[in-house]
Amino acid sequence: MSFVGKVWKVLVGIKDGLVLLFMLLFFIGLFGILSARPNPGQVRDGALLIELSGVVVEEKSPIDPFSALLSGTVPIEEYQARDIIRALDAAASDNRIKAVVFDLTTFLGGGQVHLREIGDAMDRVRKAKKPVLTYAVGYADDHMLLAAHASEVWLDPQGLAIISGPGGSNLYYAGLLDKLSVNAHIYRAGEFKSAVEPYSRSTMSDEARQNIGGLYGALWEEWQANVKKARPKLALARVTSDPVGWINSAGGDLAKAAIAGGLVDKLGDRVQFGARVAEIAGTDSWDKKPGAFASSDLKAFLASAGKDRSGKAIGIITIAGEIVDGEAGPGTAGGKRIADALDEALDDDLAGLVVRVDSPGGSVTASEEIRRAIQRYRDRKIPVAVSFANIAASGGYWVSMPGERIFAQPETVTGSIGVFAVVPTFENAADRIGVNADGFRTTPLSGQPDFIGGFSPEFEAIMQASISGTYTDFLDLVSKGRKQPVEKIDAIAGGRVWDGGTARQLGLVDEFGSLEDAIAWVAGKAEAKDGKWHAVYLGESVESYDSLIRQLLTSSAGPAPVSNGGDIFALAGRNNGDVLNRVARDAARLMGTRGIQAYCIECPATAPIVAKAPRLEASDGILVWLTSLAAF
């Protein structure tokens, strides 16, 4: 090889090395940006501005930056209820904060318990002689649950405010399955376990209607009591009993009707609202745009507030979302992930443990894995309390049984003590297209489960026996955990769902109280002096690049259509999209590879169903494929 060729190779090697070096520096810099924490120094005199551009949740779901960027879809923003409450309580005593402002223009909602507790924190801010103002283009039920606690409620003149109350339609697929010649094999324990009804019926059963009617009635009563107490001038009966007459009396102007009904206090656009806030909190010395006012955002203020780390440590494990097997989460309760977090903290010298549950349940095996991990704390004589948020049903109740004391709220949905499984077979569909299954069996279980030839009677009997046995185990766990006879638990089980007030009367929970009440109870059991303890969230990992990912996606794909504002037609369009997402979700639940489920499908949703295109596998089957074509 010539001398020139050798020199060239060296130069190419140097070039490649420099490229790799610059790429490494680029990704180190990018990681630094993504890992940046909010700067407490950004907090200044003025208003605390809380822009709720998404949903309020118990536990935030992490964003996979690469998946999000590749999909080009802006993830829906999530706000942990405890963060908002902590910020409000800190704002009440912070001399820099002159007022609190909620921008609810793109707020999507949250669970009734979370929103009521945030409303209580808003009341504490007002008690500290600091005004709380809200602004939105549209107010619905969840918006009003917050806005009722505000000093001033502002609505855009082109907006609307409507209260609809809980309830609505479920989707039933028995007719569709019949047309597709799909046999849905239903296994359940509990006559009120209506989770399987969408696949076996075309209408709601009388038992389910009776149970869900009582639940929704209780939740509606609690909603009305809370809102009327916070906002006495709201003409709730008129707005809800005769909405057409109420709107017509305002000449069809929805914004003026909102004023007349007492839902809002003032009409004004964002500039007028900002000018009003500036009168209270001061003008912005940097931003001179119309409607600007001096403010600090939620993340910076939380960073400034800090966290107390004094005294004894009390562990908090969060079980939020559907309970599934494996490592899933946060935001989804992966059984192995949560059990590992509990076991890793078992030797951390915790004074006590609080189990925070906001889950409709899910996998029985994952629920039992979590329950056993919690029980290991009890076995070591560590005090354990359970705190229910919006929903603690089915598997969410199963995992709670090691608790010495269970705290709930009147709006909590709990119970649903029952189990089920749904498995489809396709013998009729195969016969329609000329496919037949035949062969030789040495035993009644040979070749089972056979999804084309059908299940044998013996296999069907074993499947049902498994469900019945699991239900018996569930009753035994509740009987021991609640210290009540199995017969009494069976009488209130059967898949029934209960509101928190009824559950307390039945002995399914011990007392009303918040997460803070549960922590204080554990601190008392651990003989920690007043205020001489702090909470440690087990397994918590905070990803701080969410805002950057959203900025990148918003700039390239435009903002996500998440607003609950706009006119009545925009609202109808969004609800239509939710229906299509529900169809895809229900189809995936039927066709997915799931085991025995302790899951409460009938429980009210605490957040909107997020539009996600399903990831289809060959095993998902023809029904998911057909449904996905219709939905997406």
Q: What's the count of helices (H) and strands (E) in the chain, helices before strands?
A: 24, 23
> Residue type at 275?
A
Strands 413-415 and 497-499: antiparallel
Q: Please calculate the CA angle 530-536-540 and round it to the nearest 5 degrees.
A: 160
In three state form, how does the secondary structure of 425-481 look?
Answer: ECHHHHHHCCCCCCCCCCCCCCCCCCCCCCCCHHHHHHHHHHHHHHHHHHHHHHHHH
**Catalytic member of 61, 359, 387, 394:** 394
Beta carbons within 10 angstroms of residue 220's beta carbon:
16
Q: Which of 114, 42, 39 is nearest to 391 (CA)?
A: 114
What region, left, alpha or beta, does residue 597 occupy, with left being phi > 0 and alpha being psi -120 to 50 degrees? beta
Q: Look at phi and psi of residue 596 and say left if phi exceeds 0, alpha if psi is from -120 to 50, else beta.
A: beta
Taking the C-alpha atoms of residue 435 and residue 453, their distance in angstroms, rounded to an integer, is 10
The CA dihedral of 240, 241, 247, 250, to the nearest 10 degrees, is -100
* DSSP assignment of 346-409: TTS--SEEEEEEEE-EEEHHHHHHHHHHHHHHHHTT--EEEEEEEEEETHHHHTTTT-SEEEE-
DSSP letter string over 293-340? Answer: --EEEHHHHHHHH-----SEEEEEEEEES-EESSS--SSSEEHHHHHH
413-415/352-359 β-pairing: unpaired
Instruction: Report d(CA 470, CA 449) in Å as an integer.
Output: 20
Q: Give the Cα separation of 612 and 284 in Å (integer).
A: 39
Choice among 61, 193, 363, 514 that is catalytic = 193
d(CA 632, CA 626): 10
φ/ψ of residue 49, rounded to 5: -100, 115
What is the C-alpha separation between 263 and 587, in angstroms, rounded?
39
Distance of CA 183 to the CA centre of its chain: 32
SS percent in the chain: helix, strand, coil, step 5: 45, 20, 35
Question: Alpha carbon of 553 to those of 377, 451, 546: distances in Å?
Answer: 44, 43, 11
Record the tokens describing residue 477, joined without a space.
């766990």
Biggest CA-to-CA distance, the chain = 95
376: Cβ–Cβ under 8 A, 6 or more apart, which residues? 342, 343, 346
d(CA 393, CA 513) in angstroms, rounded, equals 18
Q: What are phi and psi of 584, to 5 degrees?
A: -65, -40
Nearest to 406 by CA among 498, 496, 504, 322: 504
Residues in the chain: 632
Known catalytic membership, residue 400: no
Of the candidates 101, 90, 124, 123, the residue with the CA atom closest to the CA atom of residue 48 = 101
Distances (CA, A) of 302 to 49, 80, 88, 184, 393: 12, 12, 10, 50, 32
2 in catalytic set: no
Q: Which residues are catalytic?
A: 193, 394
